[in-house]
């Protein structure tokens, strides 16, 4: 089976890249990623062949992201069943995530979509999509 088109890795500049208790470590662990490596300015989590890096190295310009400006709008992860997505969305606020589009949740992407749209305090949006 070809891996063509599958995520290889995602690397994000983030002010809290080394915070082991922040929203990203919680979310990645919840989605089945495990901490793969740590260094003074970042962390890497792996699941299978894919990995996610949070980095705040010397080239990083601190400050929030603006997902509606040019650049990445959001990243989407498969979240499992609808029940698993619901459980993740319910737990997310206690771990630094805000549910976006709450008035349309879980169909904010349209009537045929079932997902939770989350945003961290730095303005990064993550979509958790049900199977």
pLDDT for 82 equals 96
| Residue 65 domain flag | no
Strand-pair category, 125-130 with 75-80: parallel
| Residue 77 domain flag | yes
In three-state secondary structure terms, 78 is strand
Helices (H) and strands (E) in the chain, counts: 2, 8
CATH code (residue 83): 3.10.180.10
As a dihedral over the C-alpha atoms of residue 14, residue 20, residue 21, residue 24, rounded to 10 degrees, the angle is: 40
Q: Residue 83 belongs to what domain range? A: 9-58+73-130
Average pLDDT, the chain: 90
| Residue 40 domain flag | yes
pLDDT for 115 equals 96
State how many domains the chain has: 1
The pTM for the full model equals 0.87
- pLDDT over threshold 90, residue 45: yes
| Residue 46 domain flag | yes
- pLDDT over threshold 90, residue 58: no
């Amino acid at each position: 089976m070809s891996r063509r088109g599958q995520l290889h890795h995602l690397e994000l500049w983030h002010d809290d890249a080394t915070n082991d208790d922040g929203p990203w470590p919680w979310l990645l662990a919840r989605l089945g990623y495990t901490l793969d490596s740590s260094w003074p300015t970042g962390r890497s989590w792996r699941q299978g062949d894919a990995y996610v890096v949070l980095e705040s190295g010397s080239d990083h310009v601190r400050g929030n992201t603006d997902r509606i400006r040019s650049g990445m709008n959001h990243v989407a992860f498969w979240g499992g069943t609808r029940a698993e997505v619901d459980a993740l969305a319910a737990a997310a606020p206690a771990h630094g995530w805000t549910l976006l589009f709450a008035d349309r949740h879980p169909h904010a992407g349209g009537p045929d979509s079932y997902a939770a749209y989350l945003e961290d305090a730095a303005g990064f949006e993550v979509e958790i999509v049900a199977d």
